[in-house]
Amino acid sequence: MRDDRLSPRKADLARRAPGMHRPPHFAEAEYAADIRGTLRRLLRYFTKESRLLVLLFMAVIFGTLCSIYAPLLQAAAIDAMTGGQLPQLGQELLYLALCYLLASLSQFLTGQLAARLSQHIVRALRTELFAHIVDLPVRYLDRHSHGDVMSRMTNDVENIASIISSSLPTLCSGLLTVAGTALIMLWSCWQLALLSFLSVFVTIFVTKRMGRVVRRYSRTRQQLLGEQTGMVEKMIAGYRTVVACHHQQAVIRSFCEKSDELTRAGIRQDICSGVMGPFMNSISNAGFVACAAAGGVFALDGMISVGIIAAFLVYIRLFSKPINELAVIYGQLQTAVAGAERVFKVLDEPPEMMAGGAYPPRGRNDIRFDHVSFSYVPGQEVLHDFSLSIPAGRKVALVGATGSGKTTLANLLLRFYDPERGTIWIGPSDLRTIARPALRGSMAIVLQDTVLFSATIRENLLYARPEATEEELWRAARLSRAQEMIAALPQGLDTVLTAGGGNISQGQRQLLAITRAFLADPDVLILDEATSNVDTRTEKDIQSAMQELMKNRTSIVIAHRLSTIRDSDLIVVMDEGRIVEQGSHRELLAAGGRYYDLYMTQFRGFAT
């Protein structure tokens, strides 16, 4: 028989773990550094949709006026009823029904127009942002979190859409309602109006004071929740280590301690939030009762009619509700403006310059690094006064420890970055004078970390050369030894790859990347540990195919496995951004220097 009782350890976790909580109230709003400037830029997108904007405002104004006018019709109907004027009562009720119907239609139209306006503006903003991100230099994306860039494209833009579709109409309607209601109340009975305003402002004052307390507890709770989530994430990521070191009890104790803190903070916040609603309602209801009592006294004195008292009670609700909504909308508006400012910061980043001259005639271009210095972070040079000549049509291998600057040379050749000092020459041309599209169209790179897109194999290969024919695709696949692998897939070249090529093996992804390089038919080929993820037999096949591919073109091979570069025309050994040795495989082994040490470590089992 199964025992449903909890073990002591699980019971302790169940007792201590916090339950489900409502979303924290009064969340902190984000603030933009330049609110006015951001709003001005955002308004430019509205001016492009001026027709929709005008229609939206007309619908909001008309609907708000109907809502404000309806209580006056209600007051007239009540006065007609108390006065026994049945024909007038029927007329006022008809007008009241018509007024509410028009208000409902206006609200429906407002929702439709606001949705269209928000989607049109967001489409323009998102399209402009995406087109700009595509043109940003690699340096920007290297220095900014990919998650942050994606958040600006998704979350920040969606916040703007939400404000336009919901909060903007509510904001306009709320302001008009407060102003219109206040004027009608003052016109009807200024004494009763002042009493109503006093009760509303007392409610706002107390709400603001209590909101500060709730926000303080909310910040504490969110911080503790983040710490607890981080603790769980670390435990799951390092679960094997936790179990192997028999550290479960210590992890549980730490989790329970943090859970206790989170529970206490959650209880305090929920108590304050729970008390706040009834307390505010009590103040509001007290003001409501005071206005009703005062209105009764005024009615007995003949100052106002019973209908006006009834209208006043409706107007008090109409007046207080938008004020509370405006406080919430203000925070949402601040968050949306802060998101817009983050979006505009990306749009303000200068795009990568694509202009320049033509690529020199292919096949006769030596590559020369002439006293090149470069650093990703100012003051921390990766290359120091680096000089190297790579003859056209030769195979040059770059070896060295991680961080010695090998991949940086490839980044500079493709103009992902430009040197801080010195010059890189392609034949007779300074690399910086060649247009980036022409330069990159004449080079191909195969990275250790293969990049494939969520598309068909055909579409991924055509990234190298969009105009390639079916015959050329299969020829590239045959040369790269990927033909059998592609033919064995369910739809061949039309097989759809999942994100990153997750539905094929790492070795197969590497083969497709190499096939793409074959298809590009480049003048300069860069291989960054291109066969690191294929088996030994496949690597041998690829190496023989690459010998054919590298004929009559300059090839730069970045390698850690020295077995792949023994036939190189030139091997360059790098260390901390400088060349320490260069020569052929035999020459470097005979010299007994750094390359000799690396080679013997890999192939003779020497201790490292």
In terms of pLDDT, which residue wins out, 49 or 223?
49
Question: Of 122-136, 215-229, 584-598, which range is least confident?
Answer: 215-229
Q: Measured on CA atoms in the order 283, 289, 295, 297, is the torsion positive or negative?
A: negative
User: pLDDT tens across 263-303, in order?
Assistant: 888 887 777 767 766 777 777 777 777 777 887 787 777 77
pLDDT beyond 50 at 82: yes
DSSP category for residue 433: G
Position 533 scores a pLDDT of 59
Residue recorded with tokens 């928000």: 118
| Cα 326 to Cα 330: distance, rounded to the nearest angstrom | 6
Position 158 scores a pLDDT of 80
- φ/ψ region of 358 (left if φ > 0, alpha if ψ in -120 to 50, else beta) reads beta
Question: Three-state SS across 133-157?
Answer: HHCCCHHHHHHCCHHHHHHHHHHHH
Position 33 scores a pLDDT of 67
- Identify whether the C-beta of residue 444 lies closer than 8 Å to the C-beta of residue 525: yes
Give the highest mean pLDDT range of 121-135, 216-230, 502-516, 549-563.
Answer: 121-135
| Cα 576 to Cα 547: distance, rounded to the nearest angstrom | 30
CATH hierarchy code of domain 32-189+304-352: 1.20.1560.10
| Cα 251 to Cα 236: distance, rounded to the nearest angstrom | 11
- Identify whether the C-beta of residue 499 lies closer than 8 Å to the C-beta of residue 519: no
Domain ranges of the chain: 32-189+304-352, 201-303, 367-603
Residue 66: HSE in the Cβ half-sphere, 13 Å Cα cutoff = 19
The arithmetic mean of pLDDT across residues 68-90, rounded, is: 79
| Cα 459 to Cα 494: distance, rounded to the nearest angstrom | 8
The arithmetic mean of pLDDT across residues 484-491, rounded, is: 86
Model confidence at 4, in pLDDT bands (50, 70, 90)?
A: very low
Residue 152: HSE in the Cβ half-sphere, 13 Å Cα cutoff = 21
Model confidence at 394, in pLDDT bands (50, 70, 90)?
A: confident
Model confidence at 10, in pLDDT bands (50, 70, 90)?
A: very low
The arithmetic mean of pLDDT across residues 357-364, rounded, is: 80
* Buried-exposed string 183-199: b where 16+ CB fall within 10 A, e elsewhere: ebbeebbeebbebbbeb
User: pLDDT tens across 458-469, in order?
Assistant: 888 898 888 888
The arithmetic mean of pLDDT across residues 366-393, rounded, is: 88
Query: 367-603, what's its fold?
Result: Rossmann fold (3.40.50)
Q: What percent of the chain has pLDDT over 90?
A: 3
Position 423 scores a pLDDT of 92
The arithmetic mean of pLDDT across residues 506-523, rounded, is: 83
| Cα 320 to Cα 172: distance, rounded to the nearest angstrom | 15
Model confidence at 16, in pLDDT bands (50, 70, 90)?
A: very low
| Cα 432 to Cα 426: distance, rounded to the nearest angstrom | 10
Q: Look at residues 404, 402, 332 and name the one whose alpha carbon lies nearest to residue 171.
A: 332
Chain mean pLDDT for the chain: 79
The arithmetic mean of pLDDT across residues 23-28, rounded, is: 42
Position 277 scores a pLDDT of 66
| Cα 572 to Cα 397: distance, rounded to the nearest angstrom | 6
